[in-house]
Amino acid sequence: MLRALRLLAIAPLLATAGWETVVAPPALHFPRDHGAHPAFRIEWWYVTGRLTEPGGRWYGFQLTFFRQGLDPGPSVPGESTLRARQVLAAHLAVGDVSSGRTRLAERVRRVAGGLAGASTGDLDLFLENWTMRRTPEGTIVIAASDRGTATDLRLELTPAKPLVLHGEGGLSPKGPAPGTASVYLSWTRLDVRGTLAIDGRAVQAQGHAWFDHEWGTSQLGFDVAGWDWFGLRLADGRDVMLYRLRREDGSAASESAGTLVEPDGSLRHLTAADFKLEAKTWWTSPRTGARYPATFHVTVPLAGLDAEVRPLIPDSELDARGSTGTVYWEGPVAVAGSAPGEGYAELTGYAASMAGRF
Amino acid sequence: MAGTFFPQRFASVWDRVLIVDVALAQELFGKVGRLDRIELVPRPGVDEARLAAAARLLVPPDVTVEPPQARAATASRMVRALQFNLTALSGVSLFVGAVLVATTLATSVVQRRGVLALARSLGASRGQIARSLLAEAVAIGALGGALGVAGGVLGARAALASVRSTVAAVVRGVPATEIQLPLWLAAGGLLVGVGVSFLAAILPLAEAVRTPPVQGLVGERPAFLRRPSRRRAAAVASAFAVLAVALARAPAWDDLPVAALLASMALLGVLLTIVSPVLDALARHAAAPFARAAEGTQIRLAIAALAAGRRRASWGAGAVGVAVALAVAIGTMVHSFRATVIDWTNQGMRADVWIRPLAATTGVQVGRLDPEVVQVAERLFGKDVIDPFHTATAYVGTQPITLAGGEFAVVARRGGVTFRDGRDSRTVFAAALEHRAAVVGEPFATRFGVREGDTITLHAADGTLTRKVEAVFYDYSNQQGMVVIDRHDFLRHYPDDGPRELALFLPAGVDPAAARDRLLAALGGRFLVEALLNRELRAEVVAIFDRTFAITRALQAVAAAVAVLAVLTVLFALLGERRRDLALLRALGGTRLQVGGVVAAQAALLGVTGACGGLAVGLAIGFVLVKVVNVQSFGWTLRFLPPWPSLAVTAALVTVACLLAGLAPALAAARMHPAEALREEG
């Protein structure tokens, strides 16, 4: 979903002139559309998941690649080989549920000079030695490590359900104006295995993950301050994606939406009226002073879902001012109530409004 | 604009920096595919040497890998030498200030001798007297320190404004650099003021405390002030002189002329030691010719009065002497420097037109000329009148130096460079061309201990370069050291990416101004260059020189003002002490004119003694500055050229100023009512 869209800090506010916009359900061709769409200004590939090591310890992990277009025009003869038309940023976050620690590593590089690149043929991204690739067999392989935080992630992710096209055939409106929309695709449930290290301690682990791929140019309505996003995998085999776009005054925008994915992969689109999110408790960051909702009461009547969504690591605030210029909360959650489960939540716009950022 | 930044350091440089993306910079400057520099920031704990070794394997062989300190070290050497010399000079000013404070306090003690004696006789302890005098010294020091800090800030602002106006005249929109006064510096200034006046208070304090109250009350001459031992003074002065010679011969300490500046202080010690016996001798012998003449009465009386208050008088003459010495030394150093540089430009700058990249008048030359500029000049004037001058950085060991390439064939025909061994420059360049030898600048020779005929090895871009040194030329333009080889030799080791400057030696009869216009017209405004005629460049050299030494000239003025102030305070002190004698003189029939004349004569004698002593010692210090301090700081040999006429004028002016300063106390003495003065004392 909208997860992220955090405009890269190094890119000034850019006009949409020259960029394509998403106005109609796209004609999608795979594997090409797993790759990058440089005609659009913003794009990201987002993997979040929960891993368990044989001893029983739990971990949350996140690896995201953001692509920010700088210049939609073609290259000019005689220009510098370091002249970039887009930049890639990436966030690598690993949280240890038992100790409550989260480590974030971030990077940003221009797509030039062999520093970073995004294939337009299939999912094939690299940012220096951080990579996210899709094999011909359909497995997604991710690898990223950071010396400073002694974090390392080497995982193989195999989709357990078909690809989900959110909204109308992948068209996901985010604001009332035409073109204020994105193409939004997900694998809501993937089987994961591989190795993970946090603070220098490496473990073999396995679990489940969620994959999002989204692109567009002008995605948010001008008065949206932030969003609350949930990707939940229920124990009964269903998956639920929900996002609420928050206006500056705290109310939910009518473009807020969701998707219910049945165990067999069949979809049900959810509109703003189909679900309710209610913050029950709050958590205040000791570093930024930002106040985030902690526990949510989530109801989706037509799915018979009435549950409490609770963070597994209360302090999952990620300070990414060194790459995308944003501070947000993103971490693993547990679902308890009518249908138990687990998943990831992303809460943005609490440290600073996202309005006008893209 | 993505944002503004506020650099904490090097504000004056960063004030004019605009940062753009590397790709845009490459395109703007026509350097696509090239980088000037890559900065590696090691992780904490990473060994810099190993990182450098690893980086060396990654870059092409002609790329230099060096730790950042190496570059900063060379840049800071000259700044450090300049700073040290300025600090040392301000230290001497402080010394003069201390002498002045001592005289002022002495004045104050003398003027209140009666009061202090009364206080003692009424039961005040020595400690109480000492405390009150110390409090006075501290107050003077604090006030002086505060005034000094305020004056320093105003002075810095004025100095900056004058520098900026010349820069701003050329580069529009150069922003103002703020004068910053850190709290510690202000506090330090105050502390120095208080400390100096505290130290200066010790001698007058000792006198005040030791004078028995009875003596103070009767106003007799202090009995404990014995005649100064001339033998002891001579021994101390000789010791100072020997010390000064030894220190002046000592080598530089960590590239700084510490010993040589201490030698200057020792020379001031000589001055202060001999002033007292000299005044004494004057008192005895100078009075002799006037002994019989009736008109000589004032002079005899003045000399007698000076001899009686000789300690005070010697302080006064000492202060005058130190101030004059400072002024003379600085004047001699600046004049020697200036005359040498003007000589050098007259000798060496023989080209008719110089072409160089357009630069701000900050004295910092940046950029190179486009090779096309050279081609245009060659087409217009022919190859044999053009001397393109290339520069690059090479290394002796790990020390960076300037390696330059000049057209030896052209310079050999035109000549003009002054060599240390006195050989004609045509001979030298012809020989250098024939043997593929190098000529090196004097700072280089001094820095690396190189002599004519030695062989030097440099690390150039493409490996080592071994050349014989044909001759050493005088060089006042460069301090890190310069080696010049023939241009064609130079271009075998470095790509021709344009010379730093281009000199044009026009045939006789060709008007340089017209030639310059032709060249600029041919370049058609496509290149940012400036072309200077011979006299323009020489005027610019002198202008840069004078700007650089403006601050030293200001110090000279301060020294002269201090001399006058010293005389004024000393005379008032003597007047206070000799009130009774002067009153007696009046009572015995002396006219007001005669009494005033006695005081004025004292002033003149003080002035003459101080000025002569200061002149002699100032010349000695000037010699040390020129021959030792400059060589050790900058590697420049200068000729010792005292500005005789202006030195004579300075000495005369100081004497006259002292005489004028003596008018106020003389007037006060003349107005004194004899009966009142005598009654008070009785």
With a cut of 60, say whether residue B78 has pLDDT above it.
no
pLDDT at A221 over 50: yes
| H or E, element range at B231 | helix B230-249
| Domain membership flag for residue A356 | no
Contact status, residue B483 vs residue B491, Cβ threshold 8 Å: no
Class of residue A219 by CB neighbours under 10 A (exposed 0-12, middle 13-18, buried 19+) = buried
β-partners of residue B377 are: none
Q: What contacts B130, CB < 8 A, 6 or more positions away?
A: B205, B208, B209
Q: Please report the pLDDT score of residue A355 as a whole number.
A: 56
The C-alpha angle with vertex B637 and arms to B636 and B640, in degrees rounded to 5, equals: 130
Instruction: List the one residue out of A167, A210, A215 whose CA is nearest residue A5.
Output: A215
Q: Is residue A124 part of a domain?
A: yes
How is B45-73 classified by DSSP, letter by letter?
A: T--HHHHHHHHHHHS-TTS----HHHHHH
Partners of residue A148 in chain B, C-beta under 8 Å: 43
A91 pLDDT band (50/70/90 cuts)? very high
Sign of CA dihedral B530, B535, B538, B544: negative
The residue type of A259 is T
Mutate which: A82, A108, A115, vs B, most B CBs within 10 A: A82
List all residues 6 or more positions away from B205 whose beta carbon is below 8 Å from its beta carbon: B105, B109, B130, B133, B134, B137
CA B381, distance to chain mean position in Å, is: 44
Is beta strand A86-96 parallel, antiparallel or unpaired with respect to A101-110?
antiparallel
pLDDT at A43: 95
pLDDT for B393 equals 84
Structure tokens at B203: 């001698």
Q: Which of residues 8-67 of B touch A (CB under 8 A)?
A: 21-24, 26-27, 32-33, 43
* pLDDT value for B288: 59
Q: What mean pLDDT is predicted for residues A278-305?
A: 94
Q: Which of A79, A84, A110 sits opposite B27 (nearest CB)?
A: A79
A205/B188: higher pLDDT: A205
Q: Cβ of B279: how many Cβ atoms within 10 Å? A: 27
Query: How is residue B660 written in tokens?
Result: 């004028």
Q: Which residues of B touch A79 (CB under 8 A)?
A: 23, 27, 32
- What per-residue confidence (pLDDT) applies to A215? 95
Q: What integer pLDDT is reported at residue B6 of this predicted model?
A: 64
What's the pLDDT at B416? 73
What pLDDT band is residue A96 in, cutting at 50, 70 and 90? very high
Q: Which of A13, A14, A71, A80 to mutate to test the interface with B (most CBs of B within 10 A)?
A: A80
Residue A24 domain-assigned (yes or no): no
ipTM of the complex: 0.79
Does B161 have pLDDT greater than 60? yes
Q: At which residue do the structure tokens 């105003």 appear?
A: B154
Residue of B nearest to A84 (CA): B23
Q: Are residues B23 and A83, on separate chains, in Cβ contact within 8 Å? A: yes
DSSP letter (8 states) at residue B627: I
Nearest to A12 among B2, B23, B33 (CB): B2
Is the pLDDT higher at B202 or at B623? B623
Q: Which residues of B touch A147 (CB under 8 A)?
A: 43
Closest CB from B2, B23, B43 relative to A80: B23
Q: How confident is the model at residue B303 (pLDDT cuts 50, 70, 90)?
A: low
Question: Other CB atoms closer than 10 Å to residue B67's CB: what's the count?
Answer: 14
Nearest residue on chain A to B2, alpha-carbon basis: A12
Q: Do A12 and B23 touch (CB under 8 A)?
A: no
Asked if A80 and B43 come within 8 Å (Cβ–Cβ), the reply is no
Q: For residue B32, list chain A residues with Cβ-Cβ distance below 8 A.
A: 78-81
CB contact A84 to B (< 8 Å): yes
Number of inter-chain CB pairs under 8 A, A vs B: 28
Is residue A14 situated within a structural domain? no
Distance of alpha carbon A321 from the chain centroid: 17
Domain range enclosing A263:
32-347
Query: Residue A286 falls within a domain, yes or no?
Result: yes
Cα gap A246→A347, rounded to integer Å = 10
Q: Residue B572: what residue type?
A: F
Domain total in chain A: 1
Q: And the tokens for B450?
A: 């190189």
Q: Is the pLDDT of residue A238 over 60?
A: yes
- CB contact under 8 Å between A83 and B27, yes or no, is yes
Q: Is the peptide bond before A31 cis (omega within 30 degrees of 0)?
A: yes
Provide mean pLDDT across the span A217-223.
72
What is the maximum alpha-carbon separation in chain A? 63
CATH number of the domain that A74 lies in? 2.40.370.10
pLDDT at B223 over 50: no
Strand, helix or coil at B170?
helix
Q: How far is residue A343's CA from residue A219's CA, in Å, rounded to a whole number?
A: 25
Rg (alpha carbons) of chain A, rounded to whole number? 19
Alpha helices (H) in A171-322, listed in sequence order: none
- Reduced to 3 states, what is the DSSP secondary structure of residue B4? coil
How far from chain centre, in Å, is Cα B488? 41
On whether residue A70 sits in a domain, the answer given is yes
Q: Quote the CA–CA distance of B78 and A178 in Å, as a whole number.
A: 66
What is the pTM assigned to this prediction?
0.53
Chain B residue numbers with beta carbons less than 8 Å from the beta carbon of A110 are: 23
- Confidence at A9, pLDDT banded by 50, 70, 90: very low
Each residue's pLDDT tens digit, B313-344: 777 777 778 878 888 888 888 888 888 878 77
Q: CB-CB: which of B2, B26, B43 is closest to A80?
A: B26
Tell me which residue in A78, A112, A148 faces B32 most closely, judged by beta carbons. A78
Which residues in chain A touch residue B43, judged by CB atoms under 8 angstroms apart?
147-148
Is the CB of residue B198 less than 8 Å from the CB of residue B94?
no
Query: How confident is the model over B16-21, as a mean pLDDT?
Result: 76
Instruction: Compare all CA atoms of chain A with the CA of B26 and give the residue at the minimum distance.
Output: A80
Q: Is residue A83, in this structure, part of any structural domain at all?
A: yes
Q: In whole angstroms, what is the distance from residue B129 CA to residue A64 CA?
A: 81
CB spacing of B32 vs A84 below 8 angstroms = no
Which chain B residues are within 8 Å of A80, Cβ to Cβ?
22-24, 26-27, 32-33
Do the chains contact at B23 and A78, CB–CB below 8 Å? Answer: no
The pLDDT value recorded for residue B682 is 43
Of A12, A80, A148, the CB nearest to B32: A80
Q: Does residue A77 belong to the interface with chain B, where contact is any CB pair within 8 Å?
A: no
Torsional sign, CA B465, B469, B470, B473: positive
- Distance, CA of B180 to chain centre: 23
What are the beta bridge partners of residue A296?
A279, A309
- Which residues from chain A sit within 8 angstroms of residue B24, using beta carbons? 80, 83
Given a cut of 50, whether residue B272 has pLDDT beyond it is yes
Contact B24 A80 (CB under 8 A): yes
Q: Please identify which residue in the block is written with the tokens 């012809």.
A: B430
Q: Please tell me the least confidently modeled range out of A43-47, A81-85, A192-196, B656-660.
A: B656-660
Q: Is the model's pLDDT at B226 over the cut of 90?
A: no
Nearest CB among A10, A12, A84 relative to B23 is that of A84
Q: For residue range B664-675, what is the model confidence (pLDDT) as tens digits?
A: 777 777 777 777
Q: DSSP class of residue A98?
A: T
**Within a domain: residue A18?**
no
Contact A82 B23 (CB under 8 A): yes
Q: Which of A275, A272, A307, A309 is nearest to A294 (CA)?
A: A309
Beta strands B482-486 and B399-406 are parallel
Average pLDDT, chain B: 76
Separation of alpha carbons A231 and A243, rounded Å: 9
Residues of A in contact with B38 (CB under 8 A): none
- Residue of B407 and B293 predicted with greater confidence: B407
